[in-house]
Chain A
Amino acid sequence: MMTDFGYTTWILIIPFITFLLLSFFGMRLKGLPAGITGTSALGVVALLSWYTAITYFTGGGIADGGFQKIVAANAVWLNLSDHLHIDMGVLLDPISVMMLVVISTVSLMVHIYSLGYMKGEKGFERYYAFLSLFTFSMMGLVVATNIFQMYIFWELVGVSSYLLIGFYYDRPSAVAASKKAFIVTRFADMGFLVGILILSFTTKTFDFVTLTDINGPAIASKGGAVFMGMSLMTWSMIFIFMGGAGKSAMFPLHIWLPDAMEGPTPVSALIHAATMVVAGVYLVARMFPVYYFTAPEALHIIAWVGAISSLFAAIIALTQTDIKRVLAYSTISQIGYMIFSLGVSGYGGHDGLGFMASNWHLFNHAMFKALLFLGAGSVIHAVHSNDMKDMGGLRRYMPVTNITFLIACLTIAGVPPLSGFFSKDEILTAALHHNKLLFAIEYAVAGLTAFYMFRLYFSVFHGHDRHYHHTPHESPATMTVPLIILAFGSVFAGFLPFSRLVTSDGAPFESHIEWSVAIPSVAIGLLGIGLAWVMYRKETALPDRVASFFSHGYRWAYNKFYIDEVYIFITKKIIFRRISQPVAWFDRHIVDGTMNGIAYVTQSVSSMIKGLQSGQLQKYGYVFITGVIALAIVFIYLVK
């Protein structure tokens, strides 16, 4: 039985109205009331989202033995041609409904948490206005009925991320980070737009339902014309993935995410851990049938990009000392997992295990990574520093933060029966069936993840006290309650029957734990934890000795493999000097010179003819009559 989901448009409208209210009247609300307004509006959105999810999954979305794509609302916005039009609407299917729950829940937690964390900050109302804008944009992105609507909201998400990273606009580093994030993701989005244009050219539609219909024209076209060895469809899907890779900070477009940690920590939890950065995963999941049936090469690229990013980021995370940067690299690594999992997935039934696992991991990751960030925020709130060297022994002062953080670390390390264990197991199983080398990489990453997370945990919560300015204390309830709620989510999300809810073709299938994969992966996780225990639980010289043993490798990893420097070399030394400067010279001298010349001629002609306007009436009459006579002569005698 299909239910009417028209009310879901309110999920978009409410945050947008909140944004308008807070931006125009926020100043009058003065601090806390603004935050409470934003939070309660989001509470309503979260309730609506949960209600939608429950009705959808318990029958509202089921027909013909599977979950259907339901267009809950749709309006034509721009008519481009008879076939091509841009719509605005709400599309519900398992992944978008799941995302609604993820976004609204994490966003609500962050809203509540920020009441404590951002208390007394300058621009408190502005902060909440931006959060509402972000929530609106992100919701619009996931419920988009067509790829163009998605692109519009995709950019809005980018803008709100930019605004929030640069929230402390009086800090030069925050401003630089926000610009970097915006420019890098914009660059990637250029690829996205090119991809959309090629896609609409080949398939004559933007509509997701038509595009992903496996019997529809888009998939039946088998990719269209061939260009440089690949079909147009493959090209377009690769370009579209470029946009996804930029937003999801995949190698080599990942450079903006660590810097984005300049934003307030709750923002990092919401945007740069749980929701926006998984937009790339969502994009590929949304277009998955198109990828699978028309562009398998693109899917192959996706698998490798995901695998390399996860390995690469995990290695860097081993060496970082800034607590938020470790988490940022860990985010890149985990998103790499999800992207990779989509890349190795098949379509339909148990073949679509990777698809299901990816979404499941997305869901779990949102919970535990938001928890990690909010926990880190709690620590930063207590010690006023981001650097792990300034932290130690905090478990005695911050019991709630300690326990919840530990739960999150165990979850990400894949210790059963926490949620991370289940989704990671499914991802590794899918990988094993696909490609042994990729499996080996991801298996190694599982060990690295456990190690760097517990390195972080032990150095922050164990070991000696540092010289704190004042005794660290547990954060207020507004901050600890979200931690506890998210910890519950992290623990129990593994028991959700995901394979019966979110699948590649909408039809449920049975999944079970593959013990031959699970046992080794738990083993390597425990090994990582054990190593971290030995090296970091008590402060010893051991870590330094290890670091100096791997001195070159350590330095490379510590400097993030110099990727930023490569970018700077390419932009400053090559693009600016070799391309931009000559172009600028041409522009300044030739183009401007021509324009100035024209302007000069215009001005002089204008001053030459000014005598015509003398103010004397008899002259006006003279010109009038002359004009008439001239016209008469020309058109009677000369031009007939």
Chain B
Amino acid sequence: MNLESFIIMRHELVLTLAFIFILVAEVFTGERNKEKIKGIAVVLFAIVTAVGFLPAATGSLFGGMYQASGTTTLMKNILNIGTLIVLIQSYTWLGRPENRDRIHEYFLLLLSTLIGMNFMISSGHFLMFYLGIELATIPLAALAAYDRYQNRSAEAGIKLILSSTLSSGILLFGLSMIYGVTGSLYYPEVAAKLSSVPLVVLGFIFFFAGMGFKMSLVPFHLWTADVYEGAPVNVTSYLSVVSKGAAAFIFIIILFNVFPVISVTWEKVIWVIAIMTITIGNLFALRQKNMKRFLAFSSIAQAGFFLLGFIGGNQLGMTTVIYYALIYIFSNLAAFGVVSVIAEKTGKESMDDYDGLYRTNPGLSITMMLAMFSLAGIPPVAGFFGKFFLFVAAAEKGFYVLVTIAVLNTIIALYYYLLVVKAMFINRSDAPIASFKSDFMQKLGLAICIAGIVVTGFASGLFEMIRNLSYGI
């Protein structure tokens, strides 16, 4: 193994470099210049994102522990885009006085979780996968508790770390059973030696529960609402978009690469979990009045929709999962972006506060409306195509009942997404949120999201590109 082959893991390397750079910069900046770190960090991360798009060799390292392919590169790039938007959206919030002395912490923690996610996606060995998932989770708990003087934020951190401990325990337990049956942790070897014995199924279900926790699938989702509500808005958007997307990516890779032998079993498991997740997520979202909680539950339901792409084990399925994740990143970050801007300016987070928003802040209202339309899947915005292809992918394999239930659920989802639109455009309010001007970074973040929502829906070439990089069982 020579030095050049390290270029295969350029995503992780540049991220680590950026991480070290920020750490060093923090040490060497004076007390008065601390705030400049956030500008440096955002620019640095924009470079990291750009580097990810440079063409480079693919292959495996460390005897197959690490592997990179066109698919993993694409996935990492999508995560980078999401993270970049989150960083841009956090920019204003980080400038607050109470955050001044720990701006660098935010970036360091965020970058380390992203490094973890990248390793997780590129893993070729369960141990590597486990290291990645832990690296991606533990700093997240610290991030959730970032507003540490607020009880809600601290509570969110504690709940996240304790729940993740539980899920990691179960996940490891499952992996150990699989190791016990196959005698290996390398993906190809496990895949080759796997058989449909009860111990493997049990191990798979334990593994599934761990992934279900990361993707917040029902019934492993209960932490989601409390953590999402308690954590700072930008951390919540990161959790619900990037972290969830990463989990979905690695999950589909492992399902397709390691567990094809027991695909009959996992199709059934996913069938049940998908219906439960979509339905229960929707039923809870219906009742929420707090915008963050509302988005948390709606994102649970959205995670259920991802499963529709998993279940067929077909190439179209993987394509739509990646495509849907991309759309979901733009749409959900647009929604969180608006919530974050409003929370930042007025401290208001309740849906009732949004009454009559269109009259005072038409730009934000239209952005929110686009995001809601995209999340609900109304044509012609991107979300419609994402959902449509997911349904096609599942229907192609004959899961008609599942698709029917999912379609019915989109109606419920439509209802609650439109509630937000109704509040902004139709409801009148005696004391609406006063008209205000967003600053440049907030506008930039939202503009990227809007462009994403519009472009991903209309650029059919994008879908073709993802399709070429995807594969089935």
Complex Cα spacing A624 to B217, Å: 11
Residues of B within 8 A of A602 (CB): 283, 286, 412
Set B202, B219, B265: member contacting A627, Cβ < 8 A: B219
Given contacts A623-B219, A635-B265, A636-B198, contact A606 B287 (CB under 8 A): yes
Q: Which of A29-37, A190-198, A518-526, A609-617 lies at the interface with chain B?
A: A609-617
Q: Do B222 and A620 touch across chains, with their CB atoms under 8 A apart? A: yes
Tell me the smallest distance from the CB of B440 to a CB of chain A, in Å.
24
Residues of A within 8 A of B286 (CB): 602-603, 606
Q: Do B226 and A606 touch across chains, with their CB atoms under 8 A apart? A: no
Q: Do B287 and A636 touch across chains, with their CB atoms under 8 A apart? A: no
Q: Do A620 and B412 touch across chains, with their CB atoms under 8 A apart? A: no
Q: Which of B105-113, B206-214, B354-362, B395-403 lies at the interface with chain A?
A: B206-214
Tell me the smallest distance from the CB of A633 to a CB of chain B, in Å.
10
Given contacts A607-B287, A632-B202, A635-B205, contact A624 B280 (CB under 8 A): no
Residues of A within 8 A of B283 (CB): 602, 605-606, 609
Q: Do A631 and B225 touch across chains, with their CB atoms under 8 A apart? A: no
Tell me the smallest distance from the CB of B37 to a CB of chain A, in Å.
34
Q: Do B208 and A631 touch across chains, with their CB atoms under 8 A apart? A: yes
When C-beta atoms are compared, the residue in chain A nearest to B213 turns out to be A624
Q: Does B167 interact with chain A (Cβ within 8 Å)?
A: yes
When C-beta atoms are compared, the residue in chain B nearest to A603 turns out to be B286
Complex Cα spacing A398 to B227, Å: 83
Q: Does A596 interact with chain B (Cβ within 8 Å)?
A: no
Q: Do B222 and A612 touch across chains, with their CB atoms under 8 A apart? A: yes
Residues of B within 8 A of A625 (CB): 166, 170
Q: Do A631 and B209 touch across chains, with their CB atoms under 8 A apart? A: yes
Complex Cα spacing A632 to B218, Å: 15
Q: Does A78 interact with chain B (Cβ within 8 Å)?
A: no
Complex Cα spacing A635 to B200, Å: 11
In chain B between 326 and 385, which residues have their CB closer than 8 angstroms to a CB of chain A? none
Residues of B within 8 A of A626 (CB): 219
Tell me the smallest distance from the CB of A611 to a CB of chain B, in Å.
12
Q: Does B51 interact with chain A (Cβ within 8 Å)?
A: no
Set A617, A624, A631: member contacting B205, Cβ < 8 A: A631
When C-beta atoms are compared, the residue in chain B nearest to A627 turns out to be B219
Q: Do B284 and A624 touch across chains, with their CB atoms under 8 A apart? A: no
> Contact flags (1/0) for B107-151 with A, using CB distance below 8 Å?
000000000000000000000000000000000000000000000
In chain A between 72 and 130, which residues have their CB closer than 8 angstroms to a CB of chain B? none
Q: Do B225 and A620 touch across chains, with their CB atoms under 8 A apart? A: no
Q: Do B265 and A609 touch across chains, with their CB atoms under 8 A apart? A: no
Q: Does A639 interact with chain B (Cβ within 8 Å)?
A: yes
Q: Do A624 and B225 touch across chains, with their CB atoms under 8 A apart? A: no
Q: Does B269 interact with chain A (Cβ within 8 Å)?
A: yes
Residues of B within 8 A of A624 (CB): 163, 166-167, 170, 209, 213, 219-220, 222
Set B167, B170, B208, B284: member contacting A613, Cβ < 8 A: B284
Q: Does B162 interact with chain A (Cβ within 8 Å)?
A: yes
Q: Do B225 and A621 touch across chains, with their CB atoms under 8 A apart? A: no
Set A617, A623, A627, A636: member contacting B201, Cβ < 8 A: A636
Complex Cα spacing A607 to B286, Å: 10
Tell me the smallest distance from the CB of A225 to a CB of chain B, in Å.
34
Residues of A within 8 A of B202 (CB): 632, 636
Residues of A within 8 A of B209 (CB): 624, 627-628, 631
Complex Cα spacing A624 to B166, Å: 9
In chain A between 570 and 599, which residues have their CB closer than 8 angstroms to a CB of chain B? 599
Tell me the smallest distance from the CB of B138 to a CB of chain A, in Å.
17
Q: How many residues of A contact B (CB 8 A)?
A: 27
Tell me the smallest distance from the CB of A626 to a CB of chain B, in Å.
7
Complex Cα spacing A148 to B269, Å: 49
Q: Does B159 interact with chain A (Cβ within 8 Å)?
A: yes
Residues of B within 8 A of A610 (CB): 284, 287
Residues of B within 8 A of A617 (CB): 158-159, 162-163, 223
Q: Do B284 and A606 touch across chains, with their CB atoms under 8 A apart? A: yes
Contact count A vs B, C-beta below 8 Å: 76
Given contacts A602-B412, A617-B162, contact A631 B269 (CB under 8 A): yes
Q: Do B198 and A613 touch across chains, with their CB atoms under 8 A apart? A: no
Residues of A within 8 A of B166 (CB): 621, 624-625
Given contacts A602-B412, A624-B213, contact A613 B222 (CB under 8 A): yes
Residues of A within 8 A of B223 (CB): 617, 620
Q: Does B437 interact with chain A (Cβ within 8 Å)?
A: no
Residues of A within 8 A of B287 (CB): 606-607, 610
Residues of B within 8 A of A607 (CB): 287
Q: Does B268 interact with chain A (Cβ within 8 Å)?
A: yes
When C-beta atoms are compared, the residue in chain B nearest to A618 turns out to be B162
Tell me the smallest distance from the CB of A637 to a CB of chain B, in Å.
9
Residues of A within 8 A of B201 (CB): 632, 635-636
Residues of B within 8 A of A603 (CB): 286
Complex Cα spacing A636 to B198, Å: 6
Residues of A within 8 A of B220 (CB): 624, 627
Given contacts A603-B286, A613-B284, contact A620 B163 (CB under 8 A): yes
When C-beta atoms are compared, the residue in chain B nearest to A631 turns out to be B205
Residues of A within 8 A of B268 (CB): 635, 639
Residues of B within 8 A of A628 (CB): 170, 205-206, 209
Tell me the smallest distance from the CB of B255 to a CB of chain A, in Å.
15
Residues of B within 8 A of A631 (CB): 205, 208-209, 269, 272
When C-beta atoms are compared, the residue in chain A nearest to B198 turns out to be A636
> Contact flags (1/0) for A140-169 with B, using CB distance below 8 Å?
000000000000000000000000000000
When C-beta atoms are compared, the residue in chain B nearest to A610 turns out to be B287
Tell me the smallest distance from the CB of A607 to a CB of chain B, in Å.
7
Complex Cα spacing A218 to B158, Å: 74
Complex Cα spacing A316 to B415, Å: 54
When C-beta atoms are compared, the residue in chain A nearest to B229 turns out to be A615
Complex Cα spacing A181 to B415, Å: 36
When C-beta atoms are compared, the residue in chain A nearest to B286 turns out to be A606
Complex Cα spacing A256 to B68, Å: 69
Complex Cα spacing A599 to B284, Å: 14
Tell me the smallest distance from the CB of A618 to a CB of chain B, in Å.
9
Tell me the smallest distance from the CB of B158 to a CB of chain A, in Å.
8
Tell me the smallest distance from the CB of B288 to a CB of chain A, in Å.
10
Residues of A within 8 A of B213 (CB): 624
When C-beta atoms are compared, the residue in chain A nearest to B163 turns out to be A620
Residues of B within 8 A of A615 (CB): 226
Residues of A within 8 A of B219 (CB): 623-624, 626-627
When C-beta atoms are compared, the residue in chain A nearest to B212 turns out to be A627
In chain B between 232 and 281, which residues have their CB closer than 8 angstroms to a CB of chain A? 265, 268-269, 272, 280
Tell me the smallest distance from the CB of B287 to a CB of chain A, in Å.
5
Complex Cα spacing A613 to B283, Å: 12
When C-beta atoms are compared, the residue in chain B nearest to A609 turns out to be B283
Tell me the smallest distance from the CB of A457 to a CB of chain B, in Å.
55
Complex Cα spacing A634 to B219, Å: 15
Complex Cα spacing A602 to B285, Å: 12
Tell me the smallest distance from the CB of B159 to a CB of chain A, in Å.
6
In chain B between 286 and 305, which residues have their CB closer than 8 angstroms to a CB of chain A? 286-287
When C-beta atoms are compared, the residue in chain A nearest to B268 turns out to be A639
Residues of B within 8 A of A619 (CB): 222
Q: List 11 A-B contacts (CB under 8 A).
A: A599-B415, A617-B159, A620-B163, A620-B223, A621-B163, A624-B163, A624-B170, A625-B166, A631-B269, A635-B201, A639-B268
Closest 10 CB pairs of A and B: A627-B219, A620-B222, A606-B283, A628-B209, A636-B198, A631-B205, A606-B286, A632-B205, A623-B219, A636-B201
Chain A residues with CB under 8 Å of chain B are: 599, 602-603, 605-607, 609-610, 612-613, 615, 617, 619-621, 623-628, 631-632, 634-636, 639
* 14 new A-B contacts at CB < 8 Å, known A624-B166, A631-B272, A634-B272: A605-B283, A606-B286, A617-B159, A617-B162, A617-B163, A621-B162, A623-B222, A624-B167, A624-B213, A624-B222, A625-B166, A628-B209, A632-B206, A635-B205
